[in-house]
Amino acid sequence: MAFLKSLFIVAGLALSGMAFAAEVKAPAPDFTLKSDSGENIRLSELRGEIVLLNFWASWCGPCRQEMPELDKLAMDFADLGVKVLGVNVEQDPAQGKAFLKNLPVSFPILFDTTNSVTETYQVDAMPTTVLIDRDGQIRFHHRGYQPGYEDTYRQQIKRLIRE
């Protein structure tokens, strides 16, 4: 419960325009989550691909703005070994599914109903976007969203493709 309380506080900061991005190099913790198609997706099985993880919630205004931009990235880079995964952080998947009916995306949506992956990835703002390189290393960690961040994601993905 304390986690969700702090999540709401930091989400408020993100909504106020106080977003944060960091370049890091740390192993991406492995996880398995059920997707919107019903299959289990395990991060370690995506080794060799670049993975963009986006943690989001249906109540998050910036998430609503960012989703179509993430969908464009997913389609633009799909043939270049880049996988976009959305991670819904709500305990009730019905809220995320209802959100997606109004704003569908082509990339897989995973449901972290226990917030275990959300906590492991130290998500403290909505949305949070994590870029993982082909070797399974977290390379970029973005907290919050403002229009134009997708250009930064695009540049960082291109950098990881060239490595």
Model confidence over 81-95: pLDDT tens digits? 999 999 999 999 999
- Enumerate domains of the chain plus CATH numbers: 2-162 (3.40.30.10)
CA 73, CA 30: separation in Å to the nearest integer?
A: 23
- Residue 63 contacts residue 150 (beta carbons within 8 Å): no
DSSP for 29-63, written as a single string: PP-EEEBTTS-EEEGGGGTTSEEEEEEE-TT-HHH
Cα–Cα–Cα angle for 16, 18, 157, rounded to 5 degrees: 120
H helix or E strand, kind and range, residue 117? helix 116-120
Q: What is the pLDDT of residues 24-69, one digit of tens each?
A: 788 999 999 999 999 999 999 999 999 999 999 999 999 999 999 9
pTM of structure: 0.86
Q: Which residues contact residue 103 at a Cβ distance below 8 angstroms, ignoring those fewer than 6 apart? A: 64, 67, 68
